[in-house]
Structure 1
Amino acid sequence: MLIQCLGAFILSTEETQTIPRPSGRATLFIALLVNANDTLTSDQLIEEIWPDHIPDDPYGSLHAQISRLRKDMRNWGIDGVTANICHQHPGYMLTIDESLVDISTFTSLVEQCTAAFPSDPETAMECARRGLEIWHGTPFTAHRVGFLGKIARMRLEESQLIAQEVLVDSALAMGLHRHSIGRLKELVVTHPYRERFHEQLMTALYRSGRQGEALQVYREACTRLHRELGIEPSPPLQQLMNRMLQQDPAVLDYSPLTPWGLHTKSFAH
């Protein structure tokens, strides 16, 4: 059994592959899944399924949805040993081996890459690369998620961007600046307000002997930030530009740009 959440929502066994259709029960299952092995209160689950129109008998309706979801899980090939929804005061809990869920593997790899950088950029790059290979798009694509699902989705999307940053930071620390330019150009376009990607692209271009292009990246970032948000670039981005104008040799140094770390919790919560 493998449960894929990072992109399309797919449940796979050796014999079958199931794509749950969007529904209230799928929303319920997602909420339980991203909080696997933790108890969610009945009130949390009711709000997750019916955020706008709570039924007249919410607790009875939730119990009915749980019963139907258990049947759905059997139809999906999830037996009571692999995963089970149990009543746990004051609500319900999905017990499951988290290694069967791609979210768990992805989160573990992001934790490993952030822990390895900057002391071991080769390991950091490998863990980031493996984590990004698992990522296939917005978690639970095409499914409506409630508050708990949205929180998990946002955390996972942020972790994906952190993995991208670590991958590039590690590559730059290993002298692979030319190989990073294409990826960074795409990241700057898709995430124009994430200034870290601008810093990395400027550095990669500068180290590749493309100083004019590096400064053009800065000018374009300044124009966008000022025009669309009414703000100036962050101090690190401004400082990097000034160091380039001053021909600071440290910009060419392959040592890690900025030691930093990230504390993440296990799984998605």
Structure 2
Amino acid sequence: MPASCRNHCAAYDFGFPSGPLRAASGTPLVYRDLRSFPSLWVGWVRLGLMQFGVLGPLEVWATKERLVRVPEVKVRALLADLLAHNGRVVPADRLVEDLWGGSTLPANPLGALQAKVSQLRRALEEAEPGSRELVVHRAPGYALKAPDTSVDADRFRTLLVRARTTEDPRAKAAVLTDALSLWRGPAFADFADEPFVRVAVASLEEERLTAVEEHAEARLELGEHSTLIGELTTLVAAHPLRERLRAVQMRSLYRVGRSSEALDSYAELRRRLDQELGLSPGPAIEALRQAILRQDPGLQDTSGASNAIPGTRSRTNLPAGVNSLVGRDEALRELQQLVRDRRLVTLTGPGGVGKTRLATATARELDGEFPDGVWLVELAGLGGAERPAGPG
């Protein structure tokens, strides 16, 4: 098993039969994120550049998808601290407090800090020559000067900006899917309790939840209200005071004929706001409640997605390409052949390097070869305790 899989995957084996992985109808399944299935690895393509991951446990990747080992907890904490400040200089005395606060300070705090900086530079340099220059000394402290494209949080924000300037809901949903797929867990997961990342963690989590809301709204516009309901029920339970999430949930419930449940969701929001914060729901969600009560025609699905002939289904749910895929012709040809020959093909690489784009482009090319089409199955949100049902 490749080392990257051991670092990123839980070990599951569901004993799929030989041949391409298929649904009960025989439709091939293209998985966008297969970190939960290392034991089914057959073909894999490496994609990667030197980069830093903070949308989950702290990780550093060198070229050719090599995970960089950053030794010693305080050296990793130093790197996390610098990344949390997003290129800004962190004063040396602040770094000393962050690394040794709450414990006995070393006899020479600044000297001890310099030693940790040297260890960090050495680890980066050994992984990728020249990378020691990313950690710079600037009065009154240190900064990590990594390009925006090398930090997953920056790539996430770039994709959010792109999504918000995209008018087509299918293209917007595709970009937001790419953005949310960069998340491997809670931001700075292995340092989440440390005060020096608290502000960054809160900011990133708010941005993530906003992206989740925008993604749900785009999918609702595409007529996916039936499939959204289950996801939104879980999200609303986890974030019961987010009115935007409630609004998408209420619209989805209304569109499948569950108006009373939509109104119950509003009532729960109103009760919780009153009891916990002494507030009332905002005007937007109150207007939605009134629209549901009068059965406003504007609440109905206008996407056309629900107008299919009963008993039929779309050939594919693949997102539309946002723009052309450049420079991947050889990889596309290789992947197409692997999918024809193997029961499972897994793309590996750090988040944001193009795995999703390459997988969906390959699937679109193969769509005509399968009578039932090719389908996207989202597995990025599955954790170690959540096992999808196997065949039978």
- State the TM-score, normalizing by the size of structure 2: 0.58
Match of 2:75 in 1: 25
Structure 1, residues 176-228: CA drift from partner, whole Å, max 9, x if none?
Answer: 22232122111101111112111110011112222122112112222333334
Structure 1, residues 17-52: CA drift from partner, whole Å, max 9, x if none?
Answer: 246577222121112123344322223323332344
2:202 counterpart of 1:154:
yes
SS in 2 for 1:93: strand
2:187 counterpart of 1:136:
no
CA distance in 1: counterparts of 2:133 and 2:245, whole angstroms: 40
Structure 1, residues 240-261: CA drift from partner, whole Å, max 9, x if none?
Answer: 1112112222223659xxxxxx
Match of 1:9 in 2: 58
Match of 2:94 in 1: 44
Query: Of 71, 82, 106, which aligns to 2:122?
Result: 71
Query: Of 218, 229, 234, which aligns to 2:282?
Result: 234
Between Structure 1 and Structure 2, which shows a larger proportion of helix residues? 1
Letter in 2 for 1:103: A
Aligned ranges 1:87-126 → 2 under 5 Å: 87-116=137-166, 119-126=167-174
Letter in 2 for 1:192: P
Higher RCO structure, 1 or 2 (CA under 8 Å, sep 6+): 2
CA distance in 2: counterparts of 1:200 and 1:218, whole angstroms: 11
SS in 1 for 2:189: coil
CA distance in 2: counterparts of 1:143 and 1:222, whole angstroms: 35
- State the TM-score, normalizing by the size of structure 1: 0.81
Query: Of 239, 244, 250, which aligns to 1:202?
Result: 250
Q: Which runs of 5+ in 2 are unaligned?
A: 1-49, 304-392
Q: CA RMSD in A?
A: 2.6
Change (3 A) 1:83 1:98: farther
Which range moves more in the overlay, 191-200 or 49-58? 49-58
CA distance in 1: counterparts of 2:241 and 2:65, whole angstroms: 44
Match of 2:223 in 1: 175
**How far does residue 229 in structure 1 lie from its aligned partner after superposition?**
3.5
8 Å contact from structure 2 (residues 160, 179) kept in 1: yes
SS in 2 for 1:96: coil
Letter in 1 for 2:76: A
2:237 counterpart of 1:189:
yes
SS in 2 for 1:162: helix
Letter in 1 for 2:237: V
8 Å contact from structure 1 (residues 42, 59) kept in 2: yes
**How far does residue 145 in structure 1 lie from its aligned partner after superposition?**
6.1
Q: Which runs of 5+ in 1 are unaligned?
A: 256-269
SS in 1 for 2:129: coil
Q: Give the share of equivalent positions with the same residue, in percent.
A: 31
